[in-house]
Protein backbone atom coordinates (compact mmCIF):
# COMPACT_ATOMS: atom_id res chain seq x y z
CA UNK A 1 0.00 0.00 0.00
CA UNK A 2 2.87 2.40 0.70
CA UNK A 3 4.03 1.90 -2.86
CA UNK A 4 0.57 2.69 -4.21
CA UNK A 5 0.27 5.89 -2.27
CA UNK A 6 3.83 6.93 -3.16
CA UNK A 7 3.01 6.51 -6.86
CA UNK A 8 0.00 8.79 -6.50
CA UNK A 9 2.13 11.53 -4.93
CA UNK A 10 3.83 11.87 -8.34
CA UNK A 11 0.56 13.20 -9.75
CA UNK A 12 0.16 15.66 -6.86
CA UNK A 13 3.73 16.94 -7.29
CA UNK A 14 3.19 17.67 -10.98
CA UNK A 15 0.94 20.65 -10.29
CA UNK A 16 3.48 22.26 -7.94
CA UNK A 17 6.49 21.53 -10.12
CA UNK A 18 4.96 22.97 -13.30
CA UNK A 19 4.79 26.74 -13.44
CA UNK A 20 5.52 27.37 -17.10
CA UNK A 21 4.63 25.29 -20.15
CA UNK A 22 6.12 26.78 -23.29
CA UNK A 23 3.86 26.35 -26.27
CA UNK A 24 6.76 25.78 -28.64
CA UNK A 25 9.81 24.06 -27.17
CA UNK A 26 11.62 23.83 -30.50
CA UNK A 27 11.48 27.59 -30.97
CA UNK A 28 12.90 28.09 -27.48
CA UNK A 29 15.80 25.79 -28.28
CA UNK A 30 16.46 27.71 -31.48
CA UNK A 31 16.50 31.02 -29.66
CA UNK A 32 18.95 29.53 -27.16
CA UNK A 33 21.41 28.45 -29.81
CA UNK A 34 21.19 31.76 -31.65
CA UNK A 35 21.65 34.06 -28.65
CA UNK A 36 24.60 35.20 -26.57
CA UNK A 37 24.59 34.29 -22.84
CA UNK A 38 22.33 37.02 -21.41
CA UNK A 39 19.41 37.36 -19.03
CA UNK A 40 17.10 36.32 -21.89
CA UNK A 41 19.08 33.16 -22.64
CA UNK A 42 19.10 32.32 -18.91
CA UNK A 43 15.31 32.62 -18.83
CA UNK A 44 15.05 30.20 -21.76
CA UNK A 45 17.36 27.73 -20.00
CA UNK A 46 15.27 27.90 -16.81
CA UNK A 47 12.08 27.24 -18.80
CA UNK A 48 13.65 24.30 -20.67
CA UNK A 49 14.97 22.76 -17.44
CA UNK A 50 11.50 23.05 -15.91
CA UNK A 51 9.81 21.65 -19.01
CA UNK A 52 11.94 18.48 -19.06
CA UNK A 53 11.87 17.81 -15.29
CA UNK A 54 8.93 15.38 -15.58
CA UNK A 55 9.78 14.15 -19.09
CA UNK A 56 13.52 13.34 -19.17
CA UNK A 57 16.10 13.62 -16.40
CA UNK A 58 18.83 13.60 -19.07
CA UNK A 59 17.47 16.69 -20.80
CA UNK A 60 16.66 18.43 -17.50
CA UNK A 61 20.29 18.14 -16.34
CA UNK A 62 21.56 19.02 -19.81
CA UNK A 63 19.90 22.44 -19.74
CA UNK A 64 20.02 22.82 -15.95
CA UNK A 65 23.79 22.75 -15.67
CA UNK A 66 24.15 25.44 -18.36
CA UNK A 67 21.55 27.53 -16.53
CA UNK A 68 23.48 27.19 -13.24
CA UNK A 69 26.65 28.48 -14.85
CA UNK A 70 24.91 31.48 -16.42
CA UNK A 71 22.92 32.27 -13.24
CA UNK A 72 26.14 32.41 -11.23
CA UNK A 73 27.84 34.63 -13.83
CA UNK A 74 24.85 36.99 -13.90
CA UNK A 75 24.47 36.83 -10.10
CA UNK A 76 20.79 35.88 -10.56
CA UNK A 77 19.88 34.18 -7.26
CA UNK A 78 16.17 33.83 -8.11
CA UNK A 79 16.88 31.94 -11.36
CA UNK A 80 19.44 29.75 -9.59
CA UNK A 81 16.81 28.82 -6.98
CA UNK A 82 14.34 27.94 -9.77
CA UNK A 83 16.91 25.70 -11.49
CA UNK A 84 17.71 23.83 -8.26
CA UNK A 85 13.98 23.32 -7.71
CA UNK A 86 13.56 21.91 -11.22
CA UNK A 87 16.57 19.59 -10.81
CA UNK A 88 15.07 18.40 -7.53
CA UNK A 89 11.82 17.67 -9.36
CA UNK A 90 13.72 15.79 -12.10
CA UNK A 91 15.40 13.58 -9.47
CA UNK A 92 12.00 13.08 -7.81
CA UNK A 93 10.38 11.81 -11.01
CA UNK A 94 13.33 9.47 -11.58
CA UNK A 95 12.90 8.21 -7.96
CA UNK A 96 16.29 9.56 -6.76
CA UNK A 97 14.72 10.83 -3.55
CA UNK A 98 17.79 11.65 -1.47
CA UNK A 99 19.29 13.71 -4.27
CA UNK A 100 15.95 15.44 -4.84
CA UNK A 101 15.91 16.50 -1.18
CA UNK A 102 19.41 17.98 -1.52
CA UNK A 103 18.42 20.13 -4.49
CA UNK A 104 15.25 21.31 -2.74
CA UNK A 105 17.32 22.28 0.31
CA UNK A 106 19.67 24.36 -1.89
CA UNK A 107 16.70 26.09 -3.48
CA UNK A 108 15.09 26.75 -0.08
CA UNK A 109 18.23 28.38 1.33
CA UNK A 110 18.37 30.78 -1.63
CA UNK A 111 14.64 31.56 -1.39
CA UNK A 112 14.93 32.31 2.34
CA UNK A 113 17.61 34.90 1.55
CA UNK A 114 15.29 36.42 -1.08
CA UNK A 115 12.19 36.18 1.15
CA UNK A 116 10.28 34.75 -1.82
CA UNK A 117 7.12 33.49 -0.09
CA UNK A 118 5.40 31.91 -3.09
CA UNK A 119 8.35 29.81 -4.25
CA UNK A 120 9.23 28.98 -0.64
CA UNK A 121 5.71 27.59 -0.10
CA UNK A 122 6.19 25.33 -3.13
CA UNK A 123 9.53 24.06 -1.83
CA UNK A 124 8.03 23.19 1.58
CA UNK A 125 5.38 21.13 -0.22
CA UNK A 126 7.98 19.39 -2.42
CA UNK A 127 10.11 18.49 0.61
CA UNK A 128 7.01 17.23 2.39
CA UNK A 129 6.32 14.83 -0.46
CA UNK A 130 9.84 13.38 -0.25
CA UNK A 131 9.56 12.90 3.52
CA UNK A 132 6.19 11.25 3.03
CA UNK A 133 7.56 8.78 0.50
CA UNK A 134 10.37 8.03 2.96
CA UNK A 135 7.77 7.12 5.60
CA UNK A 136 8.42 10.21 7.77
CA UNK A 137 4.81 11.34 7.74
CA UNK A 138 5.02 13.53 10.86
CA UNK A 139 7.84 15.58 9.31
CA UNK A 140 5.93 15.65 6.03
CA UNK A 141 2.89 17.14 7.78
CA UNK A 142 5.07 19.86 9.33
CA UNK A 143 6.26 20.89 5.87
CA UNK A 144 2.75 20.74 4.39
CA UNK A 145 1.37 22.95 7.16
CA UNK A 146 4.19 25.46 6.65
CA UNK A 147 3.33 25.58 2.95
CA UNK A 148 -0.40 25.86 3.72
CA UNK A 149 0.23 28.71 6.18
CA UNK A 150 2.04 30.73 3.50
CA UNK A 151 -0.62 30.06 0.88
CA UNK A 152 -3.40 31.05 3.27
CA UNK A 153 -1.65 34.38 3.83
CA UNK A 154 -1.37 34.89 0.08
CA UNK A 155 -4.99 33.83 -0.40
CA UNK A 156 -6.22 36.58 1.96
CA UNK A 157 -5.02 39.11 -0.59
CA UNK A 158 -5.89 37.04 -3.68
CA UNK A 159 -8.97 35.10 -2.55
CA UNK A 160 -10.58 35.30 -5.98
CA UNK A 161 -7.57 33.82 -7.77
CA UNK A 162 -8.33 30.26 -8.96
CA UNK A 163 -4.61 29.41 -9.13
CA UNK A 164 -4.05 30.09 -5.43
CA UNK A 165 -7.11 28.08 -4.42
CA UNK A 166 -6.01 25.25 -6.70
CA UNK A 167 -2.70 25.01 -4.84
CA UNK A 168 -4.50 25.04 -1.48
CA UNK A 169 -6.74 22.24 -2.76
CA UNK A 170 -3.66 20.18 -3.66
CA UNK A 171 -2.13 20.81 -0.23
CA UNK A 172 -5.32 19.51 1.37
CA UNK A 173 -4.84 16.35 -0.71
CA UNK A 174 -1.24 16.01 0.50
CA UNK A 175 -2.25 16.51 4.13
CA UNK A 176 -5.00 13.92 3.65
CA UNK A 177 -2.53 11.36 2.29
CA UNK A 178 -0.12 11.86 5.19
CA UNK A 179 -2.97 11.46 7.70
CA UNK A 180 -4.20 8.34 5.87
CA UNK A 181 -0.75 6.77 6.10
CA UNK A 182 -0.76 7.56 9.82
CA UNK A 183 -4.04 5.65 10.19
CA UNK A 184 -6.26 8.75 10.48
CA UNK A 185 -8.81 7.67 7.83
CA UNK A 186 -11.62 10.01 8.83
CA UNK A 187 -9.26 12.98 9.00
CA UNK A 188 -7.88 12.07 5.58
CA UNK A 189 -11.37 11.95 4.06
CA UNK A 190 -12.12 15.32 5.65
CA UNK A 191 -9.18 16.93 3.83
CA UNK A 192 -9.93 15.10 0.57
CA UNK A 193 -13.48 16.42 0.60
CA UNK A 194 -12.25 19.95 1.39
CA UNK A 195 -9.98 19.73 -1.63
CA UNK A 196 -12.78 18.41 -3.83
CA UNK A 197 -15.13 21.22 -2.78
CA UNK A 198 -12.55 23.89 -3.66
CA UNK A 199 -11.74 22.24 -6.99
CA UNK A 200 -15.37 22.01 -8.00
CA UNK A 201 -16.10 25.60 -7.03
CA UNK A 202 -13.29 26.83 -9.30
CA UNK A 203 -13.81 24.05 -11.89
CA UNK A 204 -10.14 23.11 -11.50
CA UNK A 205 -9.86 19.69 -13.13
CA UNK A 206 -6.36 18.67 -12.04
CA UNK A 207 -6.91 18.99 -8.29
CA UNK A 208 -10.44 17.62 -8.71
CA UNK A 209 -8.94 14.51 -10.28
CA UNK A 210 -6.49 14.16 -7.37
CA UNK A 211 -9.28 14.40 -4.78
CA UNK A 212 -11.48 11.86 -6.55
CA UNK A 213 -8.51 9.49 -6.87
CA UNK A 214 -7.61 9.78 -3.18
CA UNK A 215 -11.20 9.12 -2.08
CA UNK A 216 -11.23 6.10 -4.38
CA UNK A 217 -8.04 4.79 -2.74
CA UNK A 218 -9.67 4.97 0.72
CA UNK A 219 -12.62 2.90 -0.53
CA UNK A 220 -10.28 0.47 -2.31
CA UNK A 221 -8.45 -0.40 0.89
CA UNK A 222 -11.74 -0.52 2.81
CA UNK A 223 -12.85 -3.28 0.39
CA UNK A 224 -15.62 -1.05 -1.05
CA UNK A 225 -14.71 -1.97 -4.61
CA UNK A 226 -17.77 -0.65 -6.43
CA UNK A 227 -17.45 2.75 -4.77
CA UNK A 228 -13.70 2.76 -5.38
CA UNK A 229 -14.25 2.14 -9.10
CA UNK A 230 -16.76 4.96 -9.26
CA UNK A 231 -14.31 7.56 -7.90
CA UNK A 232 -11.24 6.19 -9.71
CA UNK A 233 -13.02 6.18 -13.07
CA UNK A 234 -14.10 9.79 -12.55
CA UNK A 235 -10.48 10.70 -11.84
CA UNK A 236 -9.30 8.76 -14.91
CA UNK A 237 -11.79 10.52 -17.16
CA UNK A 238 -10.54 13.94 -16.06
CA UNK A 239 -6.90 12.89 -16.55
CA UNK A 240 -7.66 11.80 -20.10
CA UNK A 241 -9.38 15.10 -20.86
CA UNK A 242 -6.52 17.18 -19.44
CA UNK A 243 -3.84 14.96 -21.05
CA UNK A 244 -2.35 14.32 -17.61
CA UNK A 245 -0.28 11.24 -18.43
CA UNK A 246 0.97 10.78 -14.86
CA UNK A 247 -2.64 10.88 -13.64
CA UNK A 248 -3.84 8.47 -16.34
CA UNK A 249 -1.11 5.92 -15.60
CA UNK A 250 -1.66 6.16 -11.84
CA UNK A 251 -5.46 5.75 -12.06
CA UNK A 252 -5.13 2.83 -14.48
CA UNK A 253 -2.82 1.03 -12.03
CA UNK A 254 -5.28 1.49 -9.16
CA UNK A 255 -8.29 0.46 -11.28
CA UNK A 256 -6.34 -2.59 -12.43
CA UNK A 257 -5.79 -3.48 -8.78
CA UNK A 258 -9.54 -3.27 -8.11
CA UNK A 259 -10.33 -5.57 -11.03
CA UNK A 260 -7.61 -7.94 -9.81
CA UNK A 261 -9.32 -8.18 -6.43
CA UNK A 262 -12.64 -8.77 -8.22
CA UNK A 263 -10.91 -11.50 -10.29
CA UNK A 264 -11.77 -9.78 -13.58
CA UNK A 265 -8.40 -10.59 -15.13
CA UNK A 266 -9.12 -9.30 -18.63
CA UNK A 267 -9.94 -5.78 -17.47
CA UNK A 268 -7.07 -5.84 -14.99
CA UNK A 269 -4.58 -6.77 -17.72
CA UNK A 270 -5.84 -4.01 -20.01
CA UNK A 271 -5.39 -1.41 -17.25
CA UNK A 272 -1.90 -2.52 -16.21
CA UNK A 273 -0.67 -2.82 -19.81
CA UNK A 274 -1.90 0.65 -20.82
CA UNK A 275 -0.42 2.15 -17.65
CA UNK A 276 2.94 0.48 -18.34
CA UNK A 277 3.10 1.88 -21.87
CA UNK A 278 2.34 5.43 -20.71
CA UNK A 279 4.77 5.20 -17.77
CA UNK A 280 7.58 4.01 -20.03
CA UNK A 281 6.94 6.86 -22.46
CA UNK A 282 7.30 9.47 -19.69
CA UNK A 283 10.12 7.61 -17.85
CA UNK A 284 8.14 7.40 -14.59
CA UNK A 285 10.06 4.63 -12.77
CA UNK A 286 7.68 4.26 -9.80
CA UNK A 287 4.70 3.91 -12.13
CA UNK A 288 6.58 1.38 -14.28
CA UNK A 289 7.43 -0.65 -11.17
CA UNK A 290 3.80 -0.52 -10.00
CA UNK A 291 2.60 -1.80 -13.40
CA UNK A 292 5.19 -4.62 -13.34
CA UNK A 293 3.97 -5.68 -9.90
CA UNK A 294 0.34 -5.62 -11.02
CA UNK A 295 1.09 -7.75 -14.09
CA UNK A 296 3.07 -10.19 -11.93
CA UNK A 297 0.16 -10.59 -9.47
CA UNK A 298 -2.32 -10.92 -12.35
CA UNK A 299 -0.41 -13.68 -14.14
CA UNK A 300 0.39 -15.43 -10.87
CA UNK A 301 -3.29 -15.63 -9.90
CA UNK A 302 -4.30 -16.59 -13.44
CA UNK A 303 -1.74 -19.42 -13.44
CA UNK A 304 0.44 -17.96 -16.24
CA UNK A 305 3.75 -18.92 -14.63
CA UNK A 306 5.99 -17.86 -17.51
CA UNK A 307 4.71 -14.30 -17.62
CA UNK A 308 4.51 -14.09 -13.83
CA UNK A 309 8.24 -14.84 -13.61
CA UNK A 310 8.99 -12.31 -16.34
CA UNK A 311 7.25 -9.42 -14.62
CA UNK A 312 8.54 -10.42 -11.19
CA UNK A 313 12.12 -10.21 -12.52
CA UNK A 314 11.47 -6.82 -14.14
CA UNK A 315 9.91 -5.55 -10.92
CA UNK A 316 12.87 -6.58 -8.73
CA UNK A 317 15.39 -5.24 -11.22
CA UNK A 318 13.78 -1.79 -11.29
CA UNK A 319 13.18 -1.83 -7.52
CA UNK A 320 16.87 -2.56 -6.87
CA UNK A 321 17.87 0.18 -9.33
CA UNK A 322 15.72 2.76 -7.53
CA UNK A 323 16.35 1.92 -3.88
CA UNK A 324 19.82 0.36 -3.73
CA UNK A 325 22.76 2.18 -2.22
CA UNK A 326 24.58 1.72 -5.50
CA UNK A 327 21.92 3.79 -7.26
CA UNK A 328 22.25 6.55 -4.65
CA UNK A 329 26.01 6.65 -5.20
CA UNK A 330 25.50 6.90 -8.96
CA UNK A 331 23.25 9.92 -8.76
CA UNK A 332 25.67 11.53 -6.31
CA UNK A 333 28.44 11.00 -8.86
CA UNK A 334 26.22 12.53 -11.50
CA UNK A 335 25.82 15.66 -9.42
CA UNK A 336 29.60 16.03 -9.08
CA UNK A 337 29.89 16.02 -12.85
CA UNK A 338 27.48 18.91 -13.04
CA UNK A 339 29.53 21.38 -10.99
CA UNK A 340 29.46 24.43 -13.21
CA UNK A 341 32.85 25.98 -12.23
CA UNK A 342 35.10 23.12 -13.44
CA UNK A 343 34.98 23.31 -17.23
CA UNK A 344 33.62 25.23 -20.15
CA UNK A 345 30.09 24.67 -21.38
CA UNK A 346 30.89 22.26 -24.25
CA UNK A 347 33.11 20.03 -22.10
CA UNK A 348 30.53 19.95 -19.31
CA UNK A 349 27.77 18.87 -21.72
CA UNK A 350 29.90 15.98 -22.96
CA UNK A 351 30.73 14.95 -19.39
CA UNK A 352 27.05 15.00 -18.42
CA UNK A 353 26.04 12.83 -21.37
CA UNK A 354 28.93 10.44 -20.69
CA UNK A 355 27.99 10.14 -17.02
CA UNK A 356 24.38 9.33 -17.88
CA UNK A 357 25.55 6.68 -20.35
CA UNK A 358 27.79 5.19 -17.65
CA UNK A 359 24.83 4.97 -15.27
CA UNK A 360 22.79 3.14 -17.88
CA UNK A 361 25.70 0.79 -18.64
CA UNK A 362 26.24 -0.09 -14.99
CA UNK A 363 22.52 -0.67 -14.49
CA UNK A 364 22.42 -3.01 -17.49
CA UNK A 365 25.01 -5.29 -15.82
CA UNK A 366 22.39 -6.36 -13.35
CA UNK A 367 20.82 -8.38 -16.19
CA UNK A 368 23.79 -10.73 -16.06
CA UNK A 369 22.99 -11.67 -12.46
CA UNK A 370 19.34 -12.10 -13.34
CA UNK A 371 20.22 -14.49 -16.17
CA UNK A 372 22.57 -16.51 -13.93
CA UNK A 373 19.93 -16.98 -11.26
CA UNK A 374 16.95 -17.04 -13.62
CA UNK A 375 16.83 -20.79 -14.25
CA UNK A 376 17.12 -21.60 -10.54
CA UNK A 377 14.45 -19.08 -9.61
CA UNK A 378 12.15 -20.35 -12.38
CA UNK A 379 12.38 -23.96 -11.19
CA UNK A 380 11.83 -23.01 -7.57
CA UNK A 381 8.86 -20.82 -8.40
CA UNK A 382 7.28 -23.52 -10.58
CA UNK A 383 7.52 -26.00 -7.72
CA UNK A 384 6.19 -23.46 -5.24
CA UNK A 385 3.27 -22.50 -7.49
CA UNK A 386 2.33 -26.15 -8.09
CA UNK A 387 2.48 -26.94 -4.37
CA UNK A 388 0.47 -23.85 -3.57
CA UNK A 389 -2.25 -24.88 -6.03
CA UNK A 390 -2.50 -28.32 -4.42
CA UNK A 391 -2.41 -26.90 -0.91
CA UNK A 392 -4.94 -24.22 -1.83
CA UNK A 393 -7.46 -26.83 -2.96
CA UNK A 394 -6.97 -28.82 0.24
CA UNK A 395 -7.10 -25.70 2.36
CA UNK A 396 -10.35 -24.57 0.73
CA UNK A 397 -11.97 -27.92 1.42
CA UNK A 398 -10.80 -27.71 5.02
CA UNK A 399 -12.22 -24.20 5.24
CA UNK A 400 -15.60 -25.46 4.00
CA UNK A 401 -15.54 -28.13 6.72
CA UNK A 402 -14.64 -25.63 9.43
CA UNK A 403 -17.29 -23.17 8.26
CA UNK A 404 -19.91 -25.91 8.40
CA UNK A 405 -18.81 -26.70 11.96
CA UNK A 406 -19.18 -23.03 12.84
CA UNK A 407 -22.67 -22.95 11.26
CA UNK A 408 -23.60 -26.07 13.24
CA UNK A 409 -22.35 -24.44 16.45
CA UNK A 410 -24.23 -21.23 15.68
CA UNK A 411 -27.42 -23.17 14.93
CA UNK A 412 -27.06 -24.95 18.27
CA UNK A 413 -26.75 -21.58 19.99
CA UNK A 414 -29.77 -20.28 18.06
CA UNK A 415 -31.80 -23.28 19.24
CA UNK A 416 -30.81 -22.49 22.79
CA UNK A 417 -31.84 -18.90 22.34
CA UNK A 418 -35.27 -19.92 21.01
CA UNK A 419 -35.80 -22.16 24.05
CA UNK A 420 -34.98 -19.26 26.31
CA UNK A 421 -37.46 -16.92 24.60
CA UNK A 422 -40.19 -18.19 26.93
CA UNK A 423 -38.29 -16.48 29.71
CA UNK A 424 -38.33 -12.72 30.03
CA UNK A 425 -35.09 -11.45 28.46
CA UNK A 426 -34.28 -7.85 29.23
CA UNK A 427 -31.88 -5.96 26.99
CA UNK A 428 -29.01 -4.04 28.57
CA UNK A 429 -29.95 -0.61 29.84
CA UNK A 430 -30.11 1.91 26.98
CA UNK A 431 -27.84 4.91 27.21
CA UNK A 432 -29.61 8.25 26.61
CA UNK A 433 -28.46 10.09 23.46
CA UNK A 434 -26.92 13.01 25.31
CA UNK A 435 -25.87 11.30 28.50
CA UNK A 436 -22.15 11.69 27.82
CA UNK A 437 -22.34 14.61 25.44
CA UNK A 438 -19.78 16.58 27.44
CA UNK A 439 -17.52 13.78 28.66
CA UNK A 440 -15.35 10.85 27.63
CA UNK A 441 -16.74 7.34 27.99
CA UNK A 442 -15.45 5.43 30.98
CA UNK A 443 -14.45 1.77 30.81
CA UNK A 444 -17.73 0.62 32.38
CA UNK A 445 -19.74 2.82 30.02
CA UNK A 446 -17.93 1.35 27.03
CA UNK A 447 -18.69 -2.19 28.26
CA UNK A 448 -22.32 -1.24 28.83
CA UNK A 449 -22.63 0.21 25.34
CA UNK A 450 -20.87 -2.86 23.87
CA UNK A 451 -23.49 -5.14 25.43
CA UNK A 452 -26.29 -2.93 24.15
CA UNK A 453 -24.91 -3.03 20.60
CA UNK A 454 -24.52 -6.83 20.71
CA UNK A 455 -28.05 -7.29 22.03
CA UNK A 456 -29.50 -5.10 19.29
CA UNK A 457 -27.54 -6.82 16.51
CA UNK A 458 -28.37 -10.35 17.66
CA UNK A 459 -32.04 -9.77 18.48
CA UNK A 460 -33.28 -6.96 16.22
CA UNK A 461 -31.23 -7.94 13.12
CA UNK A 462 -31.80 -4.59 11.45
CA UNK A 463 -28.47 -5.12 9.71
CA UNK A 464 -30.31 -7.34 7.19
CA UNK A 465 -31.65 -4.15 5.63
CA UNK A 466 -29.41 -2.78 2.87
CA UNK A 467 -29.88 0.81 4.08
CA UNK A 468 -28.70 0.02 7.62
CA UNK A 469 -26.14 2.65 8.76
CA UNK A 470 -24.34 3.67 11.91
CA UNK A 471 -26.94 6.42 12.30
CA UNK A 472 -29.69 3.78 12.22
CA UNK A 473 -27.94 1.76 14.94
CA UNK A 474 -27.38 4.90 17.03
CA UNK A 475 -31.09 5.74 16.89
CA UNK A 476 -32.09 2.15 17.71
CA UNK A 477 -30.13 2.20 20.94
CA UNK A 478 -30.71 5.93 21.59
CA UNK A 479 -27.00 6.72 21.78
CA UNK A 480 -24.70 9.26 20.14
CA UNK A 481 -23.19 8.17 16.81
CA UNK A 482 -19.64 9.05 17.89
CA UNK A 483 -19.89 6.69 20.91
CA UNK A 484 -21.15 3.83 18.77
CA UNK A 485 -18.21 4.36 16.40
CA UNK A 486 -15.75 4.58 19.31
CA UNK A 487 -16.97 1.36 20.99
CA UNK A 488 -16.99 -0.60 17.72
CA UNK A 489 -13.43 0.56 16.98
CA UNK A 490 -12.06 -0.14 20.47
CA UNK A 491 -14.09 -3.11 21.71
CA UNK A 492 -14.56 -4.99 18.46
CA UNK A 493 -11.32 -3.75 16.88
CA UNK A 494 -12.90 -2.94 13.51
CA UNK A 495 -14.66 -0.23 11.54
CA UNK A 496 -18.46 -0.06 11.32
CA UNK A 497 -18.66 -1.49 7.78
CA UNK A 498 -16.52 -4.48 8.71
CA UNK A 499 -18.56 -4.96 11.91
CA UNK A 500 -21.87 -5.05 9.97
CA UNK A 501 -20.48 -7.20 7.17
CA UNK A 502 -19.36 -9.83 9.69
CA UNK A 503 -22.95 -10.22 10.97
CA UNK A 504 -24.27 -10.32 7.41
CA UNK A 505 -21.76 -12.97 6.29
CA UNK A 506 -22.57 -15.16 9.30
CA UNK A 507 -26.24 -15.04 8.31
CA UNK A 508 -25.42 -15.69 4.63
CA UNK A 509 -23.23 -18.66 5.55
CA UNK A 510 -26.07 -20.11 7.62
CA UNK A 511 -28.55 -19.74 4.74
CA UNK A 512 -26.15 -21.27 2.19
CA UNK A 513 -25.62 -24.28 4.47
CA UNK A 514 -29.36 -24.76 5.10
CA UNK A 515 -30.68 -27.67 2.94
CA UNK A 516 -34.12 -26.03 2.95
CA UNK A 517 -32.66 -22.93 1.25
CA UNK A 518 -30.97 -24.72 -1.66
CA UNK A 519 -33.56 -23.30 -4.09
CA UNK A 520 -32.22 -19.79 -3.43
CA UNK A 521 -29.44 -18.39 -5.59
CA UNK A 522 -26.31 -16.79 -4.15
CA UNK A 523 -27.47 -13.40 -5.44
CA UNK A 524 -30.82 -13.79 -3.65
CA UNK A 525 -29.14 -14.68 -0.37
CA UNK A 526 -26.75 -11.73 -0.76
CA UNK A 527 -29.71 -9.38 -1.05
CA UNK A 528 -31.56 -11.01 1.85
CA UNK A 529 -28.67 -10.36 4.22
CA UNK A 530 -28.33 -6.72 3.20
CA UNK A 531 -25.68 -6.56 0.44
CA UNK A 532 -26.38 -4.22 -2.46
CA UNK A 533 -24.10 -5.87 -5.02
CA UNK A 534 -22.78 -9.34 -5.73
CA UNK A 535 -19.17 -8.18 -6.05
CA UNK A 536 -19.19 -6.57 -2.58
CA UNK A 537 -20.81 -9.70 -1.13
CA UNK A 538 -18.23 -12.01 -2.76
CA UNK A 539 -15.33 -9.93 -1.46
CA UNK A 540 -16.74 -9.77 2.08
CA UNK A 541 -17.58 -13.50 2.16
CA UNK A 542 -14.06 -14.47 1.13
CA UNK A 543 -12.56 -12.07 3.66
CA UNK A 544 -14.45 -13.59 6.62
CA UNK A 545 -14.57 -17.26 5.60
CA UNK A 546 -11.44 -17.62 3.48
CA UNK A 547 -13.38 -19.03 0.49
CA UNK A 548 -15.74 -17.69 -2.14
CA UNK A 549 -19.51 -18.18 -1.71
CA UNK A 550 -19.69 -20.12 -4.99
CA UNK A 551 -16.98 -22.60 -3.84
CA UNK A 552 -18.75 -23.01 -0.49
CA UNK A 553 -22.10 -23.55 -2.24
CA UNK A 554 -20.71 -26.06 -4.76
CA UNK A 555 -18.91 -28.03 -2.02
CA UNK A 556 -22.21 -28.51 -0.18
CA UNK A 557 -23.85 -29.94 -3.29
CA UNK A 558 -21.12 -32.56 -3.87
Domain CATH code at residue 88: 1.25.40.10
Is residue 548 helix, strand or coil?
A: coil
Q: Are residues 426 and 490 in the same domain?
A: yes
Nearest Cα to Cα of residue 269 among 296, 237, 306: 296
Q: Establish if 175 belongs to a structural domain.
A: no
Is residue 82 in a domain? Answer: yes
**Tens-digit pLDDT string for the chain (558 aa):** 444 444 444 444 444 444 434 446 666 666 565 455 688 888 888 888 888 887 888 888 988 998 899 899 889 999 999 999 999 988 888 888 888 889 999 999 998 888 888 888 888 999 999 888 888 888 998 999 998 888 888 877 765 567 777 788 888 889 989 888 888 888 888 888 988 888 888 787 887 888 899 998 888 888 888 898 999 999 999 999 889 888 899 999 999 999 988 889 899 899 999 999 999 998 888 899 999 999 999 898 888 888 889 999 998 888 887 765 444 444 344 334 333 333 444 544 555 566 566 666 666 666 667 778 788 888 788 888 888 777 777 777 778 778 887 877 776 655 555 455 444 445 555 555 454 444 578 889 999 999 999 999 888 888 899 899 999 999 989 999 999 999 999 989 999 999 999 999 999 999 988 888 888 899 999 999 999 889 999 999 999 999 999 998 888 876
- Give Cα separations from 210 to 15, 18, 256, 528 (angstroms): 10, 16, 17, 37
Torsion of CA 471, 475, 477, 482, to 10 degrees: 40
Alpha carbons 52 and 228: distance in angstroms, whole number: 33
Asked if residue 35 is part of any domain, the answer here is: yes
CATH number at residue 466: 1.10.10.60
Long-range pairs for 315-321: beta carbons < 8 A, 24 or more residues apart: 315/289, 317/366, 317/367, 317/370, 318/285, 318/288, 318/289, 318/292, 319/289, 320/366, 321/285, 321/363, 321/366
Q: Are 260 and 289 in contact (CB under 8 A)?
A: no
Total domains present in the chain:
2
Domain shared by 414 and 531, yes or no: yes
Q: What single-letter DSSP state applies at residue 492?
A: S
Judgement on whether residues 51 and 117 belong to the same structural domain of the protein: yes
From 306, 337, 362, the end of a domain falls on 362
In a domain, 51, yes or no: yes
Separation CA 215–CA 538 (nearest Å): 22
Residues 6+ apart with CB under 8 A from 267: 256, 259
Whether 212 maps to a domain, the answer reads no
Decide if 239 is inside a domain: no
pLDDT for the residue numbered 352: 54
> Do residue 357 and residue 457 come from a single domain?
no
Domain that holds residue 436: 399-557
User: Both 45 and 115 in a single domain?
Assistant: yes
Q: Is residue 193 part of a domain?
A: no
- Classify residue 202: in a domain, yes or no: no
* Of 218, 222, 278, residue with least CA distance to 248: 278
Cα–Cα distance, 155 to 164 (Å, whole number): 6
- Within this chain, do residues 9 and 107 fall inside the same structural domain, yes or no? yes
Residue 227: phi, psi to the nearest 5?
-65, -40
d(CA 70, CA 340): 9
Same-domain check for residues 431 and 494: yes
Cα separation of 173 and 549, whole Å? 38
Residues 353 and 490 in one domain: no
| Other CB atoms within 10 A of residue 233 CB | 15
Amino acid sequence: MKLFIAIFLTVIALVFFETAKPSNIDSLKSSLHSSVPTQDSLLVLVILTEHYQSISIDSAFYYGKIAIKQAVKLNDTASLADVYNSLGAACYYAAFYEKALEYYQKSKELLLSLNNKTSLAKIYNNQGIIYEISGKNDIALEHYYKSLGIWNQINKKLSDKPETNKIIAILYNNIGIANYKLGETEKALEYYNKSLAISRSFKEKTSMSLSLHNIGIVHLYSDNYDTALEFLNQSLEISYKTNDKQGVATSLNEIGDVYLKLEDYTKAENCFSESLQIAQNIQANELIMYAYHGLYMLNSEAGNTKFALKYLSLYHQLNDSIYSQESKNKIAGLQNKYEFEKKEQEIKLLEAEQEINDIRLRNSRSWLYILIGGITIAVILLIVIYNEMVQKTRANKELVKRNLEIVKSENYSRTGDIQEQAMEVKPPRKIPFDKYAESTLSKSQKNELKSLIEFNMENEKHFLKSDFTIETLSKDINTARCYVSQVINEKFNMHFNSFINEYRIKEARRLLADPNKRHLTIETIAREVGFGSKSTFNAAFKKYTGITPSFFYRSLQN
